[in-house]
Structure 1
Amino acid sequence: MEDNTEVEPLENKINTVSENLSDKISAPVETAIITPKQGIENIEEHHARHEGMKNWKSYVWEFVMLFFAVFLGFLAQNFLEHRLEKETGNQYVRSMIEDIISDSTKINQTLEFTKKQQLALDSLSALFDNPPYSDSTIKTMYILMLKYTMNQSNVTLTKRTVSQLKNSGGMRLISDKISADEITKYIEGAEDIESQGDYFKNIALGEIIKLNNQIFYLKYIKGVARKDIDSFIMKAPVKLANNNEDLLIEYSNLVFFTSGLLINYNNKLTNFKAGIPRTIEILKKENHIE
């Protein structure tokens, strides 16, 4: 039996499929495109919603934490500054103790000479009270004059730490009141002693030296070493340059008056020196220094 069904050509089928695919490809596809601006707006919107979730307790807590951090920083800085000032003050006290010990040595050396000087001035004054003068008396006058009126040994106390304390305002660093008072007391005593010593050197001895030039022949000892003065004077023929009675009386009185000043100066030195061990003990105790 013959099949009369018409077979569609293969070429027609291929054309039909191509047309269907072409229709599908050419159809518009809806696509959502997000621009950068829209992305940022979405993030900000999300962040705003998140911020909106904070309540007043969160803000209070943040404030407390911030305040606490600042307060702790302040305390730490204040503690550090206080510690540094205390250490600096302690160093000043240690330096002051060293200066005081040095001053004690200086005072001992000064007293060793000034006590002899005071006795020598008394003797020199007494020699002028009994004219006429023998050769040995005049020679003794020369020796005492040369050794004890042309020399002086007033003490100059150490000012290293004192100057630093005054110039830098360091006294405020001595936090311990007892120590500060003791240092102030010591400085005042030292200044009084130096003032007395300067007067003795520049005024009293200065007046004696002026009269020395009128009463003695200073050319006798020209070129003679200080250590050889005693033996040289005792061997050489010497005499006074001026025998004016009024001048010699004036000289005797001035030397006697200067001896009195020296007694007062020596007493000040002795009393000041006696207080040094107590001052050192107080400064060490109050500042925990061994």
Structure 2
Amino acid sequence: MEVHHHSHHPKSWKEYVQEFLMLFFAVFLGFMAEYYLEYRAERHKEHDYLVSMKEDLKADLVEIDRGIMGMEKIKSVGQRLEKLLYKPAWSDNEIDSIYILSLNLSATLIKPNFATGTIDQLKNAGGFRLIKNQEIVHKISAYEKWKQTILLQEESNSHNWRNIHLLQNKLLHVTTLGLPEKLNDIRLDKAELERIQKSTGSKFLTSDKKTLYEYANYIWVQRGYVAYYEIMVKMEQQQAKELIKLIEEELEH
């Protein structure tokens, strides 16, 4: 019985080239598809970071506006209080005003609570590399750097506030000030203050003018700190507005 062998013709070089090209393009297209998916994922993350950063900046602007209102109040209240403290004598109403203004001074909030959520993610997750617009990256960095400078100024403010509180405790019968039930709830128990006056002969803990003038000095210093702090915060406010505009332009592309 005859055995028939199938003959295999050797492939031509064209067939080898064709198979190579098919394999190459298959691998290349797979690589491109994976690259495109990764690219789209990164652009989606970039978009999310920019949207989130924009919202944080808007929240910062609200906080800055609130802080500036407090700073203006402190400068105004402080100036009125200084003038009263330097008077040679006071009426009962003026003494009541010293108490109320002192409480207003120490109870007013000026520190903006800056949002940190997005910037923390950008730092910890390496998100900065995803932001293609380098001008945005530089402005975010500058914004954060200036924020740290503001925090240093806050330390100076806090140190002087402590001195003001110490002098208030030396001068005022703080037990006559009612505990607040809500923000800006400033109350003075005038009947209790009059009772203390009848009992001690004075509405103040001390009649030493030097202590009163020292208190006025610390208030003046605090007004100076707050004025400088306000300038710094307004600079940060301007940076936030510029950064929001830049991010919005990038998101529109």
Q: Considering the TM-score relative to the shorter chain, is it more than 0.5?
A: yes
2:25 aligned partner: 68
**Cα distance, 1:124 vs structure 2:** 1.9
**Cα distance, 1:146 vs structure 2:** 0.8
> Match for 1:188 among 145, 155, 179?
145
2:71 aligned partner: 114
The reply on whether 1:287 has 2:251 as its aligned counterpart is yes
1:94 aligned partner: 51
CA radius of gyration, larger in: 1
Give the conservation status (yes or no) of the 8 Å contact 2:46–2:130.
yes
**Cα distance, 1:178 vs structure 2:** 2.1
> Match for 1:246 among 210, 229, 244?
210
Provide, for residues 68-111 of structure 1, a one-character-per-residue CA deviation record: whole Å limited to 9, x for no partner.
Answer: 22122112211211111011101111111111112212221221
Flag structure 2 segments of 5+ consecutive residues without an equivalent. 198-202
Flag structure 1 segments of 5+ consecutive residues without an equivalent. 1-31
Tell me the distance in 2 between the aligned counterparts of 1:101 and 1:80: 32
2:233 aligned partner: 269
Evaluate the alpha carbon distance shift between residue 186 and residue 215 of structure 1 in structure 2; reply closer, same or farther with a 3 A threshold.
Answer: same
Evaluate the alpha carbon distance shift between residue 131 and residue 171 of structure 1 in structure 2; reply closer, same or farther with a 3 A threshold.
Answer: same
What is the identity, as a one-letter code, of the residue corresponding to 1:104?
L
Tell me the distance in 2 between the aligned counterparts of 1:117 and 1:175: 43
Tell me the distance in 2 between the aligned counterparts of 1:263 and 1:249: 21
Give the conservation status (yes or no) of the 8 Å contact 1:157–1:194.
no
Aligned length: 244
Give the conservation status (yes or no) of the 8 Å contact 1:127–1:137.
yes
Give the conservation status (yes or no) of the 8 Å contact 1:155–1:197.
no
1:227 aligned partner: 185
Evaluate the alpha carbon distance shift between residue 223 and residue 152 of structure 1 in structure 2; reply closer, same or farther with a 3 A threshold.
Answer: closer
The reply on whether 1:103 has 2:67 as its aligned counterpart is no
> Match for 1:54 among 5, 11, 14?
11
What is the identity, as a one-letter code, of the residue corresponding to 1:166?
K
**Cα distance, 1:264 vs structure 2:** 0.9
2:200 aligned partner: none
1:29 aligned partner: none
Moved more, 256-265 or 156-165: 156-165
Provide, for residues 108-151 of structure 1, a one-character-per-residue CA deviation record: whole Å limited to 9, x for no partner.
Answer: 12212220111111222333233344433322211111111244
The reply on whether 1:141 has 2:98 as its aligned counterpart is yes
- Partner secondary structure for residue 227 of structure 1: coil
Provide, for residues 131-183 of structure 1, a one-character-per-residue CA deviation record: whole Å limited to 9, x for no partner.
Answer: 34443332221111111124433111111211221221111111111222222
Tell me the distance in 2 between the aligned counterparts of 1:193 and 1:211: 26
Alignment of 1:146-185 (within 5 A): 146-185=103-142
Identity %: 28
1:5 aligned partner: none
Moved more, 91-100 or 68-77: 68-77
